[in-house]
Amino acid sequence: MKTTVLALAAFAVLSGCNDPGLIGARGITEATAAEVVGCTLITNIRMAPGVYGPVLAEPGLVYARNSVKAEAKAAGATHVVFDLIEPGVPVYEVRAGAWRCPS
């Protein structure tokens, strides 16, 4: 319980920041591999979630995915395709391809 309260307090403090990991990235679309056929691969991105464990694993994963989207957008991508994650398996690295697709 104490860990949950501390995590929520830390999130509340940081939520006022402009950190893309917290606020997300606009203008980038999550897609599947089939949806980016005919698009150009810009780069592959890898990022480790900063926190793990039963309480912080999910927020850490969301933060890492948002950060990957922001990095993809900064590289000029319009779409991002995340590697599939097996449900129930701990995630130690988020991997994605950043793609530029025609409008």
Residues 15, 28: Cα–Cα separation, whole Å: 21
Write out pLDDT tens, residues 49-103: 877 777 777 888 888 999 999 999 999 999 999 999 888 888 889 999 999 999 7
Provide the pLDDT confidence category of residue 2 given band limits of 50, 70 and 90.
low
Comparison of pLDDT for 36 and 21, the residue scoring more: 36
List the one residue out of 72, 82, 97 whose CA is nearest residue 20: 72
Provide the pLDDT confidence category of residue 15 given band limits of 50, 70 and 90.
low
Range 2-100 classified under CATH 3.30.110: yes
List of E strands, 1-103: 29-30, 40-47, 79-82, 94-100
